[in-house]
Chain A
Amino acid sequence: AQSVTQPDIHITVSEGASLELRCNYSYGATPYLFWYVQSPGQGLQLLLKYFSGDTLVQGIKGFEAEFKRSQSSFNLRKPSVHWSDAAEYFCAVGARGYQKVTFGTGTKLQVIP
């Protein structure tokens, strides 16, 4: 069965600082990997996804993530955080031909001035 771990429950960064959110997955074959963002009171929105090919994936809002098979990781990064990035971020794993996606427990990002 597929699973995903987000080890950081809560992260605080200063506006303008760089950001990295960690995600580790467990799956026997090549996974489909996703990052979603949830603003307060809203549903989840897709930031980016990895299916195959280039292991560095660009997403919306200036985010990127890198798939590292050797480390079973798919960390999310942003070079300079904006106050509007404060939200909860979910990593998710899926599989080819299998519609269910398993979500991590989320990392809540706080941005301070």
Chain B
Amino acid sequence: DAGVIQSPRHEVTEMGQEVTLRCKPISGHDYLFWYRQTMMRGLELLIYFNNNVPIDDSGMPEDRFSAKMPNASFSTLKIQPSEPRDSAVYFCASSEAGGGDEQYFGPGTRLTVT
């Protein structure tokens, strides 16, 4: 298996622009997670899905952030409009089952908003 795939790996955009991050989880994994990592706040869970359904989005910082999972093999995290404080590394992870099963992380997308 290729593991969790994220694209793009790097994104540089100007403030106010829309940004879309993409994730393909490992086939057969029922859970998908979006995290944000910054020096100041560490690794934060933004949202997670179970069988394509959003379960907990309490970590989404504000309405500018939205996430979708239209099918079992694809998810997007969208920021509109983007702001400089959104600059971070965004990780997608997937796991096979619930109850604290191992999460497999993608390589991350480094977002820079100027």
B55 at the interface (CB under 8 A from A): yes
B residues within 8 A CB of A34?
Answer: 100, 102
Give the residue name and chain of the A residue nearest to B45 (CB): A100
1/0 contact trace for A86-113 toward B, CB 8 Å?
0000100011111111111110000000
A residues within 8 A CB of B93?
Answer: 43-44
**How many residues of A are counted as interface, with CB atoms below 8 angstroms from the partner's CB atoms?**
25
**How many residues of B are counted as interface, with CB atoms below 8 angstroms from the partner's CB atoms?**
21
Main secondary structure of the interface of B (DSSP, over half): strand
A47 to B17, CA, bound (A): 38
B residues within 8 A CB of A18?
Answer: none
Give the residue name and chain of the A residue nearest to B43 (CB): A103
Contacts known (A32-B99, A105-B42); A99 close to B48, Cβ less than 8 A: yes
A residues within 8 A CB of B55?
Answer: 99
* Interface of chain B residues 9 through 63 with chain A (CB within 8 A): 31, 42-43, 45, 48, 50, 55-56
